[in-house]
Structure 1
Amino acid sequence: MKRIALIAVFLFVGLLFLPLHNSFAAKDKVSIGYVDAFTGIFAPGPHVWGTIWMEILVAEYNAKGGLLVPELGKRLPIELKKYDSKSDAETLIRLTEKCMAKDKVDLMFAPWGTSQNFAVLPLYEKYKYPLLAHAMGSGQVVDLVKSGAAKWVFPVLAQPPFGAKYAADFLQSVNAERIGIIGVSDLHGIEWTGYVKAELAKRGMSVVVGPELYPLTASDLSPIVRKLKEANVDALWASTYPADGTLLLKQSMELDYSPRVMIMGPGSQYPMIMVPAFGLKALRGIMEYHGFEVDYTSTPKLRELAEKYKKASGSYPGANTIAAYACHEMLFKAVEKYGLNREKLKKALATETFETVVGPTKWNWQDVYMDAPRAGYLCQWQGEEMLKVVWPPDRATAKWMPKPAWPK
């Protein structure tokens, strides 16, 4: 009787696991949720940054049958489930939770922007999805990661505490004497301008204007530009986005304010936005600071990807937008090695090195960013459609040039 009872127990347990096994065996696709601002005030960001790159990567994998899922021993096509947050934080949160809790997608693509990533970070922690934050910069996130409070977030770009150090290194190297700091008054601008000023103060470097902050919706920056010009600021740090960055350049030209060093934020490195607005000659000398900058002419593979991006968008990619491709290339390689178990994926991403388009790529947890040998920290327009890496020196593809006067 005991033997019969034992057999019955084994059969019962086996039946419990059978539906789960059959359900996974019947799986016919890998689903990825992607909620972002496809319309509204933030829309230019994800359009030129992540969306095109992630769709290129998905198309490349689907062209060879999809992602290899080791548990099944076969490739499954990738389904990208896109939802528009309309640049609204509450909508972003609601739709992100829908992807995770209702759609039960296998993986998630992160949104564009610091404040948007902050808004959804608790959901990634709650539902245990790796948050590959490819377009975010926040010292607060660095603190959360280092304290262990955030276990599922993987910041990709250089974060403000580290970025401020290499910015100060660069400004010292070019003998910047009168520095101005301005930026948009959201989380990105507040943190970056604050960290940069603090780092410069540690080194005894003179900040004569700022930080001067303004709203994202600002329609006139001429009072700030006049203040910079009157203070004879020769090195400007501007934590900008596409819309306000374009306005800053336009009004700087109108008021004939042309600093020797002009370092700007996300948007200033987007050929799709900047070249039609100003032309290549006017852009010469302008820099961008967010890290993971690449020169697409430096390898055949990067050049090939840049041409794919141009075919999809009509313009070449911004220097560090490749971060959105490379971090998900790491994720996909981790899936093909460990499967769709997200705990295993988290561990692999946190500890292993993966070969990507920018070389051996891994997370640097001391400074909390994704690092690769071909990714620099500062890039610059030098008269070509694709930017050059100018800092640090051991990763530079061109020598830094002082920004010339605006063309007449």
Structure 2
Amino acid sequence: MKTLLTNAKRLGLSKEMEVCEVLIDGQFIETIAPSIGVEADQVIDCHGNLVFPGFIDVHVHLREPGGKHKETIKTGTEAAARGGYTTICSMPNTNPVPDNTETVKQLLKKINEDAVVRVLPYASITEGLKGETLTNIKELADMGVFAFTDDGVGIQTADYMLQAMKEAAAVGASIVAHCEDNSIVYGGVMHDGKVSKQLNLPGIPSLSESVQIARDVLLAEAAGCHYHVCHVSTKESVRVIRDAKRAGINVTAEVSPHHLLLNEEVISEDDANFKMNPPLRAKEDQEALLAGLLDGTIDFIATDHAPHAVEEKAKGFLGAPFGIVGLETAFPLLYTNLVEAGKITLCQLVEWLTIKPAKVFGLPYGRLAEKAFADITVVDLNKEFLIDKETFRSKGKNTPFHNWKVRGMPILTIIEGKVVYQEEDVYA
């Protein structure tokens, strides 16, 4: 089947917008040209909007199995499609944990049955995410898992992390880390700063993150392993990663939209929609994250989409779980508050959502080019709208961005030539 996208624009080699048409043949892009002029089985008028490669998110929590009241593979991937994402990587903090061949096999089967977009699952580093017994990394890597992580908890002993890195390096796999030294978290629920003191809530020191990154980059150097740092949040972490890269260590890192756009000062009351791990840090940390992204210390952006039930988030900072949703709001928030604000370019934003994560993990996606996979996101940069959590495809409504005014709406998402999301109001 051939599909023709007409009346579209793309970012050209000169970084300027240029008129184009895109001809899709089956799963792949056949031609991109100013005018193609061939008949197709399906013609979609893009109404002058921009076409991008489908977005990639390597840090998503789908909650299934075991947490279907928060999210399912179906609802999470529908949210991804609405947000313009065509490839997402699901974290292993589920029940059961994908820590052996049988649980991974069951997860892959469920993904194949229910996923709307491409889902690449992680396997855990340790059995049950308990940090006590390493999984069979070679066996799980042979099954095609995306990478290995105990996301949600840090690996507490250097010995276990070193062993895991050596085994991962032997099979060409990546170790992806939530960095947190539990011995210096002190029961914190938000950043240890001026706002935690104002609200009389226990704080999480920045050092709990950066000290584990400092340990791990040296372990990765010794093991010869690709080591990727999840959701960097502190200025000290940025400094450690920058120094490690200068030393030639194979370390990469991601930052989440909420850490780029918010800091502790937006928290004025005990509202757990602002509770995430790592927490919103100080303003100087926020500034260091953007600087790190711009200078290449941080490689790309990932949402850390973490849905929870409404009643769970209603328990306040002391009782609610960590995490916010992000798949459906990432692009418009980043476009409006960073691109339109003149802090980054549109080209940079798109690269951080497509080319860069694909390059870091060796994925054959994230390109808008002839013969590439027909993973395409069409975005209306002009229509202004309010973020409304009640319209989310995700089961999770836990967002601090409700009622934010934004532009940059994904209106069409295509994966391997198949339309998986279409904003009907635009095409009516």
Give the TM-score taking structure 2 as reference length: 0.31
Report which of the two structures shows the higher radius of gyration computed on alpha carbons.
1
Higher relative contact order structure (alpha carbons within 8 Å, sequence separation ≥ 6): 2
Q: Which has the higher strand share?
A: 2
